[in-house]
Amino acid sequence: MKTTKIAATVLAALLSCSVAVACGTSGGGDGKTPPEIAYTIDESLVDTAGANDEMFYKKNVERIESPLAGKTIYWLGSSVTYGATSGGEAVPEFLEAKTGCISKKDAVSGTTIFDDGNTSDTGEKSYTRRLVNSTVFNKNEKIDAFICQISTNDALSSRKKNWGAITPDDKLYQEDFDRSTTLGGIEFIIAYVTDTWNCPVYFYSGAEFFDKDKSSSPRANASPTGTDYGELVGKVLEIAAKWQKYNIDVRVIDLFNDKDFNAKVSDTYYSWAVNDPIHPKRAGYLQWWMPYFERFLLVALDLY
């Protein structure tokens, strides 16, 4: 067996005959009650403020005492992670401001997980290329979690052909994965992060949105459609289940399929808090998205 951190983890799992499958944000069966994080969604703001107003800037977020303080989290993504319609402030910045965690992100709008070899958003700026060559991430730093956005750019109708396939269970090493495909890129990211930082790997989706045939809804989107993006999120959930078999902590922060999360905001608030069904504005990130990530991390990292 190859002498990598993955090999060591897999070998330990096989020797112990113990497989821990971790998913969702529920408790770990140890009797502890998961924390409740207060959402600050205020429908009255729709008529009194803009969702990108200064009151929602990172500098104005109130710091709390949190077990996440000092934890280092790396973020890899595209426009949603960057904050393309929120002045470059998104979940990483707001979570850092509130909890005192350390967020470092490598996020470039328009980029894909797959790397087709071109000198473009789908090639040299792709997720896997930036991960390997990042000047933001320190390969020698101890980090507590790696969070990767499931890019909507990979779910455009014209790019489904680039998805590829999930590899068999015995494929676990970086060289096993076809980085020119989306699913190969996802698995490469898991293997690379595990070998480099040996930390949990969490993928996150965007919030639920619908297909173009529901054009009357403010949550409708033509390309990618909700059906296509939902299918991609499902594939990432399958990949996570594969890696969990070997005690490698891979999970999905699944905003897309969480009905309670999506029901927290009315269509009126939604229209105000987002630029489009893909991209929140500052208030959308701060009031709606960020508390979900906060709770997920407290539970996933066993900090409650």
Cα angle for residues 188, 279, 190 (degrees, 5° grid)? 10
Q: How many domains does the chain have?
A: 1
pLDDT digits over 218-238, tens only?
A: 999 999 999 999 999 999 999
| Cβ proximity of 24 and 257 under 8 Å | no
CATH number, domain containing residue 56: 3.40.50.1110
pLDDT at 4 over 80: no
Does a structural domain hold residue 81?
yes
215 and 149 Cβ atoms separated by less than 8 Å:
no
Tell me whether residue 226 is in a domain.
Answer: yes
For residue 77, list its beta bridge partners.
107
φ, ψ at 74 (rounded to 5°): -100, 140
Residue 30 lies in a domain: no
Q: What is the pLDDT of residues 277-298, one digit of tens each?
A: 999 999 999 999 999 999 999 9
- Tell me the pLDDT band of 212, cut-offs 50, 70 and 90: confident
**Could you give the CA distance from residue 115 to residue 21 in angstroms, rounded to a whole number?**
30
Is pLDDT at 7 greater than 80 in this prediction?
Answer: no
Is 86 contained in some domain? yes
**Residue 28, domain member (yes or no):** no
DSSP of 172-194, one letter per residue? -SGGGS-TTSHHHHHHHHHHHHH
Which domain covers residue 257, as residue numbers? 5-23+35-300
What pLDDT, in 10s, does the model give residues 14-39?
555 444 333 344 445 567 888 999 99
Phi, psi values for residue 9, rounded to 5°: -65, -45
Residue 29 lies in a domain: no
The bridge status of strand 250-253 relative to strand 201-204 is parallel
Residues 219, 220, 223: CA angle, nearest 5 degrees: 130
Residue 74's DSSP bridge partners are 104, 146
Q: What is the CA radius of gyration of the chain?
A: 19
Angle, vertex CA 78, rays to CA 188 and CA 89, nearest 5: 130
d(CA 102, CA 98): 11
| Rounded distance between C-alpha atoms, residue 279 and residue 270, angstroms | 11
Per the CB < 8 A criterion, the answer to whether 126 and 134 are in contact is no
Q: What is the pLDDT of residue 19?
A: 40
Whole-number pLDDT of residue 9: 66
Tens of pLDDT, residue by residue over 85-130, are 999 999 999 999 999 999 999 999 999 999 999 999 999 999 999 9
Over residues 131-166, the pLDDT tens digits come to 999 999 999 999 999 999 999 999 999 999 999 999
Residue 21: which region, alpha, beta or left (left: phi > 0; alpha: psi -120 to 50)?
A: beta
